[in-house]
Amino acid sequence: MKAYIPNLSVDCVVFGFDHERLNVMLTKRELLDPITKDVIFIDYTVLGHHVLEGEPIDDAASRVLKHRTGLDHIYLEQFYTFGGLDRMSNEKDQMWTKLKYPMISDHVISVGYYSLVDSFEVKPDDKHENTQWFPVDDLPALGFDHKEMIERALEFLQRKLRREPIGFELLPEKFTISQMQKLYECVFGAKFDRRNFRKKVSQMKYVIPLDEKQKGVAHKPAQVFIFSKDVYYRTKKEKLDFSV
Amino acid sequence: MKAYIPNLSVDCVVFGFDHERLNVMLTKRELLDPITKDVIFIDYTVLGHHVLEGEPIDDAASRVLKHRTGLDHIYLEQFYTFGGLDRMSNEKDQMWTKLKYPMISDHVISVGYYSLVDSFEVKPDDKHENTQWFPVDDLPALGFDHKEMIERALEFLQRKLRREPIGFELLPEKFTISQMQKLYECVFGAKFDRRNFRKKVSQMKYVIPLDEKQKGVAHKPAQVFIFSKDVYYRTKKEKLDFSV
DNA sequence: TCAAAAGTGTTGACATTACACCCATGT
DNA sequence: ACATGGGTGTAATGTCAACACTTTTGA
């Protein structure tokens, strides 16, 4: 077991989509009085851990994800590094740190990553105790600066999704246009016109219809699509317009 | 004098515009054989330094800038954190580190910032020895992973400039549309149509014409403009289109 | 008077928006 | 048979790209 770098951690904001809402995976943090065993506070944090000596930070982020969710080889991207002094300055965070990690510096820099998964692949009640999904627009009390961290991750995701087809990481392999539209609406917090959305999607050559329809739904079954990374990379070209 | 955090540094990619090209400020790094005093190698690095204990990383970046250029209160934004193991793996970087900073870990995480200044405000031959401007499209040999760092900073700058009017940080307070166009062309590495560019600029309410013309130029003198941050913030609104 | 950059409008192609009706399925 | 979401086209508007000539100054 290698030693931790005392003032460097990674935090992963794991986004999941359940075809209704955009969710974030959070871990319960419960501080008990060491003597009376009373609950001092309960709140939640994103998944994080200290970086090990000699460990590349990207690997540290993968390690955290793997360890806390069992997931491997999923979309993971660094978005921002949080290094203010105030990030641990709440009273409860101070207590938590002193009681649980007395050897850790009170100035921890944290490299923020975000990750995209299909919510259905990670069940909230799995063996991963104390870890569950919360809708991004209805978050519980959060520890440290994790509220800001989630907001920033979401902005980053929005900007990225405007430029690149990463939304498919949040969808099952086979999906319908409606599911895709719902996803975009959740991420951007906006409504889109159904016909215009479909028009746009039909111009994306890398969203490919299958010879397959939805089954078991009480309405006209929808066409099923897959995303082809391959076609995407072969057909993409840079746009050079500048705006604002 | 506070202690450094041994494996955490900040690096600032300082961009400057001299109305001809986009430049980066680099420091000469010269390694001499400790016995024979022969030059072992010469190359350049961006401006960086270790973070101090208890110092917010944004402050560390400002400190580096102030110390190395004398500049204060200039545009400064974090863009990416570099934390691979290979960033110091070149033989020359290893030698440099062993000879100059033997106490430093060989796994240093570096938070990358970029900064925007008007090149004319920082003269390359100032008292800031060993620091000079290089065109981004004609860089010398660079130490560590600083080539990748500059490329990434430039991409980041491009994306930011598409969204927000930060180009004015690279221009003098009063500027002409041609200077502005040249800047955009340098940053994006593209040519724009003069009339279309002017049309676009004239829609930007925050680019305000002065009652003033260029002087001493051997052609029709150009209208002079200023940028109003104020007007920008009052008139901006989010765009919600998603592309690709 | 010449060289050099400033300034100015129109057109066609394309993308974006707004909008209403019929279809296939399960219950 | 009905409720539910699936699927489709057009017209109006806005945005982008391409393009050539006249003006003002200093040398």
Q: What is the 3-state secondary structure (H, E, C) of chain B?
A: CCCEEEEEEEEEEEEEECCCCEEEEEEEEEEECCCCCCEEEEEEECEEEEEECCCCHHHHHHHHHHHHHCCCCCEEEEEEEECCCHHHCCHHHHHHHHHHCCCCCCCCEEEEEEEEEEHHHCCCCCCCCCEEEEECCCCCCECCCHHHHHHHHHHHHHHHHHHCCCHHHHCCCCECHHHHHHHHHHHHCCCCCHHHHHHHHHHCCCEEEEEEECCCCCCCCCEEEEECHHHHHHHCCCCCCCCC
- Report the nearest residue to nucleotide C9, CA vs C1': B195
Distance CA A97, CA A93 (A): 6
Q: Do B81 and A111 touch (CB under 8 A)?
A: yes
Tokens of A200: 């746009």
CA of B22 to C1' of C7 (A): 26
**Nucleotide with the nearest C1' to A192 CA:** C17
pLDDT at B139 over 70: yes
176-235 on A, CB < 7 Å from strand D:
176-178, 194-196, 198-199, 213, 218-223
CA of A18 to C1' of C23 (A): 28
CA of A214 to C1' of C27 (A): 17
Domain boundaries, chain A: 4-163, 171-238
- Shortest distance between the Cα of A204 and any Cα of chain B, in A, equals 7
Residue A243, CB, less than 7 Å from strand D? yes
- Hey, what amino acid is at A50? H
The domain defined by B171-238 folds into Arc Repressor Mutant, subunit A (1.10.10)
Domains A4-163 and A171-238 share a fold: no
CATH number of A4-163: 3.90.79.10
Which residue, among A104, A109, A113, A158, would best test binding to B if mutated, counting the most B CBs under 10 Å from its CB?
A109
pLDDT value of position B107: 87
Give chain A's residues under pLDDT 50.
239-241, 243-244
- Shortest distance between the Cα of A93 and any Cα of chain B, in A, equals 17
Region B199-226: mean pLDDT is: 96
Q: Do B58 and A84 touch (CB under 8 A)?
A: yes
pLDDT at B196 over 90: yes
Distance CA B238, CA B163 (A): 10
pLDDT at B170 over 60: yes
pLDDT value of position A104: 80
pLDDT at B188 over 70: yes
pLDDT value of position B100: 86
pLDDT value of position A105: 79
Contacts with A114 from chain B: Cβ below 8 Å = none
pLDDT value of position B128: 64
- Which of A57, A105, A161 is nearest residue B109 as measured by Cβ atoms? A57
Count of CB pairs separated by less than 8 Å, A with B: 83
- Shortest distance between the Cα of B28 and any Cα of chain A, in A, equals 28
Taking all residues of chain B, what is their mean pLDDT, rounded to a whole number? Answer: 92
Residue B198, CB, less than 7 Å from strand C? yes
Contacts with B84 from chain A: Cβ below 8 Å = 56-58
Residue B153 pLDDT grade (very low, low, confident, very high; cuts 50, 70, 90)? very high
**Residue position matching structure tokens 């008990």:** A32
Residue B52 pLDDT grade (very low, low, confident, very high; cuts 50, 70, 90)? very high
Residue A243, CB, less than 7 Å from strand C? no
- Residue pair A171/A121 in contact (Cβ under 8 Å)? The answer is no
pLDDT at B201 over 80: yes
Closest CA to A88 of A67, A110, A59: A110
pLDDT at B183 over 90: yes
